[in-house]
Amino acid sequence: AKPLTLSAPGKAILHGEHAVVYGKAALAVALNLRTFLRIKPSNNGKVLIHLPNIGTSVNWETFRLRTLLTVFSGNPEQMDALKEFAGITTELSAAESLGTLAFLYLYLSISAKYGWSEEEMDLINRWAFRGEQVIHGKPSGVDNSVATWGGVLRFQSGKFTSLKRVPTLRILLTNTKVSRSTKILVASVKDKILKFPAIMNPVLASIDAISHECESVLEAMAVSPSQEYYPVLEELFDINQHHLNVIGVGHSSLDNVCRVTATHGLHSKLTGAGGGGCAITLLRPDPLMVEAARQDLSACGFECWETSIGAPGIC
Binding residues for ligand MEV, per CB under 6 A? 13, 17-18, 20-21, 136, 139-140, 142-143, 182, 186, 272-273
Q: Is there a catalytic annotation at residue 111?
A: yes
Angstrom distance (rounded) from CA 95 to CA 199: 35
17 or 234: whose CB is closer to ligand MEV?
17
Which amino acid, one-letter code, is at 35? T
Contact at 8 Å (CB) between 249 and 282? no
Residue 15 Cβ, how far from ligand MEV at the closest point, in Å?
11
Residue 155 Cβ, how far from ligand MEV at the closest point, in Å?
8
Angstrom distance (rounded) from CA 212 to CA 157: 14
**In sequence order, what are the beta bridge partners of 46?**
61
Residue 134 Cβ, how far from ligand MEV at the closest point, in Å?
13
106 or 273: whose CB is closer to ligand MEV?
273
52 or 158: whose CB is closer to ligand MEV?
158
Residue 248 Cβ, how far from ligand MEV at the closest point, in Å?
12
Nearest to 1, CA basis, from 35, 38, 43: 43
Which residue in the list 42, 57, 111, 298 is annotated as catalytic? Answer: 111
Instruction: Tell me the CB-side half-sphere exposure of residue 9, using CA atoms within 13 A.
Output: 24
**In sequence order, what are the beta bridge partners of 137?**
none
Q: Is there a catalytic annotation at residue 143?
A: yes
Backbone torsions φ then ψ of 35, nearest 5 degrees: -100, 130
Helix (H) / strand (E) containing 311:
none
14 or 314: whose CB is closer to ligand MEV?
14
Which residue in the list 7, 140, 143, 208 is annotated as catalytic? Answer: 143
**What is the set of active-site residues?**
111, 143
